[in-house]
Structure 1
Amino acid sequence: MASEKKILVARKGRLRQRYDNEYRLVAGCVPYRVRTDGQPEVLMVSAPNRNDLVFPKGGWEDDEDVYQAACREALEEAGVKGTINKTALGLWVFRSKSSPVDSDSPRGACKGYIFALEVEEELEQWPEQDTHGRQWVSPADAYRLCRYDWMREALSALMDRLPAISHYQPAAKVKPAPELNEHGGVYMMVKAEATADRAVALC
């Protein structure tokens, strides 16, 4: 008898959500692939009631490390699996929609670790496909479509890093961000101070 196909289900709620003081910890990624002609593409997802596209991200929970959280979000929202680069593209602070933009309090804000994910498998069905469509786009189109500054900064960090892992020829290289440890104890505020006042995200 043929084995039954496993049904993938997205995690719901925040019972296992990690926090750093009052900051909700978030993990996400920029999924990418390099075509046979050497040109890169990145995968973006749509969100309900929005006309723009974003990179997959979501809450980092207490039974997983930050890399597992980022990969899980890519699977749930975009239906892709692959190899994650454990050197983060950066750490950004996001203000939730309900939080006052001019507030200095971390309440209602998120700290988000963003990674590069080289896509190796694209599923035909995924947990959140009813609410998140997906679209492969060029880096130039992705930059134009990005909703927030942190997304453009993460995309730029990925493009600067691609020469080391592909045949893509970029304009320049940048010094990579430090690698995080398994327990997420390194809170590198790369980009955070520059972005906190202007980045508004649904965390």
Structure 2
Amino acid sequence: MKKKAKKKLAPKTMRRQVAALPICHDESGNPRVLLISSRETQRPVIPKGWQMKGKPDHLAAEIEAFEEAGVKGRISKKPVGTYRYWKRLSDQFALVDVDVYALEVAEHCLEWPEQEQRQARWFSPEDAALLIDEPLLAALIRRLV
């Protein structure tokens, strides 16, 4: 009888990513949060990625925001919060801490590198927090905006 292969958990070393939390205000002054779809599962997430060699983390988060969501603006130099999640890798899961930087969006571009792979949509902070799977990120969105 053949045993079913189990996904392995990554070694205990903590991994770190950086993320941008894109925020703007509508015509009435109400805050809005931009969520994008993840590539594989299409679930709502914020733009994030691995740290970039030779770049400060806040600038790496700003780059991810443009590549994944097509937004540009003013990014905070210090994280506004952190959350943890399980990242699915090719053959294992890894626990990842994500430093989140607030991005005051000044421009939503018509074209960006991953626009064919993701959907981007603005939400009220309350709705964005309800759609996010990670409880710590949802709490961060509620607290920040």
Contact 2:82 2:137 survives alignment (8 Å): no
Name the residue aligned to 2:14.
23
Write the mapping of 1:103-122 to structure 2, written as runs, cut at 5 A.
108-122=94-108
Gaps of 5+ in 1: 1-20, 100-107, 160-203
Q: Aligned partners of 1:29, 1:136: CA distance in 2, in Å?
A: 14
Write the mapping of 1:124-203 to structure 2, written as runs, cut at 5 A.
124-159=110-145
TM-score by length of 1: 0.60
Gaps of 5+ in 2: 1-11
Seq. identity, %: 31
- Cα 1:52–1:110 change in 2 (3 A) is closer
Q: 1:57 aligns with which of 48, 63, 80?
A: 48
Q: Which amino acid aligns with 1:87?
A: K
Tell me the SS of whatever aligns to 1:112. strand
Name the residue aligned to 1:41.
32
Aligned residues: 131
Displacement of 1:68 in angstroms is 0.6
TM-score by length of 2: 0.82
- Cα 1:93–1:141 change in 2 (3 A) is closer
Q: Aligned partners of 2:120, 2:38: CA distance in 1, in Å?
A: 10
Q: Aligned partners of 1:28, 1:47: CA distance in 2, in Å?
A: 13
